Each structure stands twice: as structure tokens, then as C-alpha cells.
Structure 1
Amino acid sequence: MSLDDLNADVKAAYSDLGDEVRVDLDRETRNELAMLLAAFDGNREELVRRAIHALYRSTVDTGDLDFHLRQGYDVTYDEYLSGMTYDEMSGNSVSQFDQSDERRYQQ
């Protein structure tokens, strides 16, 4: 997979989402949401939006998003944001790198 594959998958997922997402809640999640609704303003939609933002920020900050993107697409979040791989940014081709260094983020 590549940066182009990631871009295509993000665009496809975005168009599939639409404006509304229906989610079935298990008992634990329902209890946690009820606690948050009671503690905060009671606006369910706003709490879900906040939760998605918090999870997204956390995965970016901890490097977890990079790990998963590297595993699935062989790119990082920074590469996705810039629209080009590190090799493309530096003008180097993959053949110029040692094979062990080329996949340093993959196991």
C-alpha cells in the first residue's frame, strides 16, 4: 500500500460516513456516556464529537497513528499531511537506502 492508497481510502471513508453515524453501544459504553452526559452539558452529539477529537489527538501524539499507517500503508501521518513520502521530500530513491533502514518502522 502507498500514500496514494491511503488518500483514496480516506476519501472513500469520508464519503461513506455522511453527516450522521449510528453506533450501537454496549453496556459499559452506555454507562460511561451517561456519566459524561450527567457531568457535562448533556449534549450527546457534542460529547461524541469531543471523544473522536480526543482519540484522534491521542493517537497522533503517542505515535500510534504513525504505527498503524506505517503497518498498513508504509507512510506516516506527516507524509500524509505533506502529500509526499520522506524519500520524495529528500529527493532520494528507495534504492539508495540500506534495506534494514528502509523498513525501520515495520517489524
Structure 2
Amino acid sequence: MSLDDLDDDVKAVYSGLNDEHAVGLDRETKNELAMLTAVFDADVDELVRRGIHALFRSTVDTGDLDFHLRQGYDVTYDEYLAGMTYDEMTGADQYPQRDDERRYQM
């Protein structure tokens, strides 16, 4: 997979998401959400949005997002944001591959 595949997949998922999304809660999640709602005196929807932002930020900061992007799409988050791979940025993909087997043959 490539940067273009990732971009297509992100756009496809984004267009499929509604502004509202129902989520089933287990007992533990429901208890934690109730605690956060009481402590922060916040709207449940706002806490869910904050939770998604916190999870995203955590995966970016720990390198977990890059790990999964590299496995699935062979790109990093920085490459996705730039819209090009490191090889494209540095020009390394412009040169033909060296043929080391035939390099020293006369």
C-alpha cells in the first residue's frame, strides 16, 4: 500500500462518518464516563470528542501511529501530512536502482 492508498482510505472513512455516532458502552466505560462527566461538569459528547483527541495525540506521541502506518501503508504520519514520502522529498526516487551484481563485471 502507499501514501495514495492511505489518503483514499482516510477520505472514504471520513465521508462515511456521520456528525453523530452511537457507541455502545460496557460497564467499565459507562462508569468512567460518568465519573469524568461529574468531575469536569462536561457534556458527554464533549468528553467523547476529548477522548478521541487524547487517544490520537497519544498514538502520535508514542510513535504507535507511525508503526501501524508503516506496517499497513509504508508511510509515516509526517509523510501523510506532507503529501509525499521521504524519498520523494529528497529526490532519492528519481535515480535508477543500482545493479550491484553487474557493477564490477567487465
TM-score by length of 1: 0.85
Q: Is 1:66 matched up with 2:63?
A: no
Q: Distance in 1 between matches of 2:12 and 2:46?
A: 24
1:95 is displaced (CA, Å) by: 3.5
1:39 is displaced (CA, Å) by: 0.5
Q: Distance in 1 between matches of 2:2 and 2:89?
A: 15
Secondary structure of 1:67 counterpart: helix
What letter corresponds to residue 50 of structure 2 in structure 1? R
Matches within 5 A, 1:1-107: 1-93=1-93, 95=97
Q: Render the CA deviation track for 1:2-57: whole Å, top value 9, x for unaligned.
A: 00000000001101112111110111111110110111113101101110111111
Unaligned runs of 5+ in 1: 97-107
What letter corresponds to residue 2 of structure 2 in structure 1? S
Give the 4+ runs in structure 1 shifted more than 4 A: none
What letter corresponds to residue 10 of structure 2 in structure 1? V
What letter corresponds to residue 16 of structure 1 in structure 2? G
Q: Percent identity?
A: 75
Secondary structure of 2:92 counterpart: coil
What letter corresponds to residue 38 of structure 2 in structure 1? A
Unaligned runs of 5+ in 2: 99-106
What letter corresponds to residue 78 of structure 1 in structure 2? D
2:103 corresponds to: none
What letter corresponds to residue 67 of structure 1 in structure 2? F
Q: How many residues align?
A: 96
Q: Render the CA deviation track for 1:46-102: whole Å, top value 9, x for unaligned.
A: 101110111111111110000000010000000000000000001002846xxxxxx
